Amino acid sequence: MFLYYLRLSALSYRRNPILSSLMVMAVAIGVGAYMVIFTLNFVMGGDPIPQKSDQLFHVQLDSGNPNTQDDPPKQLTYLDATALIQANSAYRETATSKISGILEPEGDGIRPFSIVGRGAFADFFPMFNTPFLYGDGWDQSADRDLQQVAVLTKELNERLFGGADSTGETVRLHGNNFQIVGVLDDWAPVPKFYDINNGAFDGSEEIFIPWNLIIPLDFPRNGNTNCWKTPEAGPDGFLNSECVWIQYWVELRSGDDEAEYLQFLNNYAAQQKEFGRFPREMNNALFNVEEWLMKEEVLPNETKILSALAAMLLAVCLLNTIGLLLSKFLGKSGEIGVRQALGAHKGSLFLQHVIEAGFIGLLGGILGLAIAAAGLEGVKVLLGDNLMITDWIHLNPTVVAITLVLAVLATIFAGFYPIWRACSINPAIHLKTQ
């Protein structure tokens, strides 16, 4: 029966090709445009690490300025980050921050170039589920013993070693040799949850080294540094200052651990208060990945505004479809009258037209996918290369499925009233004029 109705739908389409094509186009444009914006929202507002986003927590210690009443700083001071690392109170934890440096490739083939890297602890890699192409992250002993080891990204390995397994090789960065222990596979979480300070949609850094080396090897910091109080003079002035520049993440395994860790942070802050630091009221915070991204509002206002506008565009297209379906189904009154007179059930007539509307919706959805794909390509071109990573801007399977379902359901929904009108015709009137 279903197939029979489907065939009827196709016949009906061919009988009235212009009207039917207009409907398909209206559905396609509405759904296509909506899905472009939906994809942006879906990925940019999505969960970058769904396997464990509720176990990873961003740490905030309120070492802020007593004369202002804003949120606690988003990053930690050197004093606090090193103290937390030493306390070693979480299942896994890492202090991390961006660095920059000149990388001097061996031989004369490639000129030295400037590079942005990241200092991290051994836990960084297992915590954030970073995929490895070759080798692995470094051991905790490397953190303790200040071993000069490094993990490269796939791109950097491509550039320096032509993509070969480079573990065991050395690379010269900021005037020091580092032994390569691992090469990452493609890894660019969207949003870049572990450091949203300089653009939540940036790509990842190109080289990772033990964070403990940043100070002894005098690496230039790259990223945000905020000081509410000027550092004291002298070489250690900056390290002992209230300047924040370090991100801190912990992995905790249960809700109890979370409360316990927050208590640990509060105890630490209370202890610091005794030394005259932490002049504000106690306001330390732990946010898991999704809470943190939500709180920091990483989703740009632009995409939020666009989704409201796209929803209205979809509404206009559906209103249009209602009108067109009305014309089409009322135009079929004669046929419906005959079928009714021959004993067709109202229910089966209704079903037939629901399937016809769904058929049109499906065609609209398929065409809508093409429009959405083209639209996303257009957005990618508009955004260009340097603003953010745009590799993720394409149709993904979830979006494809949602598009088709949305198109079919929306068209059937739009069809309810026209179908009801068409099916509640008195057959006698239409039989008379035959």
Q: Among candidates 5, 32, 30, which has minimal Cα distance to 419?
A: 5
What's the closest the beta carbon of residue 410 comes to other proteins, in angstroms? 14
Q: Which is nearer to other proteins, 144 or 304 (CB)?
A: 304
- 320 sits near other proteins (criterion: CB under 8 A): yes
- 419 sits near other proteins (criterion: CB under 8 A): no
- 334 sits near other proteins (criterion: CB under 8 A): no
Q: Which is nearer to other proteins, 144 or 229 (CB)?
A: 229
Which of 270, 305, 401, 428 binds other proteins (CB under 8 A)? It is: 305
Q: Which is nearer to other proteins, 163 or 331 (CB)?
A: 331
- 326 sits near other proteins (criterion: CB under 8 A): yes
What's the closest the beta carbon of residue 251 comes to other proteins, in angstroms? 32
176's enclosing H/E stretch is: strand 176-184
Q: Which is nearer to other proteins, 8 or 326 (CB)?
A: 326
What's the closest the beta carbon of residue 6 comes to other proteins, in angstroms? 25
Residue the block writes with tokens 């509002």: 297
Q: Render the burial of 389-412: b for 16+ CB within 10 Å, e for the rest.
A: bbebbebeeebbebbbebbbebbb
Part in contact with other proteins (CB under 8 A); list of ranges 205-213, 273-281, 318-326, 358-366: 318-326
Contact characters 137-176, other proteins, x per CB under 8 A = -------------------------------------xx-
Which of 112, 126, 131, 168 binds other proteins (CB under 8 A)? It is: 112
One-letter amino acid of 172 = R
Contact characters 179-218, other proteins, x per CB under 8 A = ----------------------------------------
Q: Residue 387 CB: number of other CB atoms within 10 A? A: 11
- 259 sits near other proteins (criterion: CB under 8 A): no
Part in contact with other proteins (CB under 8 A); list of ranges 53-61, 120-128, 155-163, 299-307: 299-307
Q: Render the burial of 1-18: b for 16+ CB within 10 Å, e for the rest.
A: eeeebbebbeebbeebee
| Angle between helices 346-383 and 397-423 in degrees, nearest 10 | 140
Radius of gyration of the chain (CA): 30
- Residues composing the chain: 434
Kindly determine how many residues on this chain lie close enough to bind other proteins according to the rule CB under 8 A.
51
CA–CA separation, 333 vs 339, rounded Å?
Answer: 10
Phi and psi angles of residue 62, each rounded to the nearest 5 degrees, phi first = -85, 80
- 177 sits near other proteins (criterion: CB under 8 A): no
Pairing of strands 92-104, 170-173: antiparallel
Which of 4, 237, 345, 348 binds other proteins (CB under 8 A)? It is: 237
3-state DSSP helix/strand/coil % of the chain, to nearest 5: 50, 15, 35
Residue 288 DSSP code: E
Q: Among candidates 27, 40, 30, which has minimal Cα distance to 377?
A: 40
- 102 sits near other proteins (criterion: CB under 8 A): yes
- 110 sits near other proteins (criterion: CB under 8 A): no
CA–CA separation, 215 vs 212, rounded Å?
Answer: 7
Which of 145, 158, 165, 302 binds other proteins (CB under 8 A)? It is: 302
Part in contact with other proteins (CB under 8 A); list of ranges 158-166, 186-194, 204-212, 225-233: 225-233
Q: Which is nearer to other proteins, 164 or 374 (CB)?
A: 374
Assess contact for 113 and 103: CB atoms under 8 A: yes
Q: Render the burial of 51-60: b for 16+ CB within 10 Å, e for the rest.
A: eebbbbbbbb
- 33 sits near other proteins (criterion: CB under 8 A): yes
Q: Which is nearer to other proteins, 312 or 341 (CB)?
A: 312
Which of 323, 350, 351, 413 binds other proteins (CB under 8 A)? It is: 323
CA–CA separation, 306 vs 304, rounded Å?
Answer: 5
Sites of contact with other proteins (CB under 8 A): 19, 22, 26, 29-30, 33, 67, 102, 104, 111-114, 174-175, 220, 230-233, 237-238, 300-302, 304-306, 308-310, 312-313, 315-317, 319-320, 322-324, 326-327, 378-379, 382-384, 386-387, 417
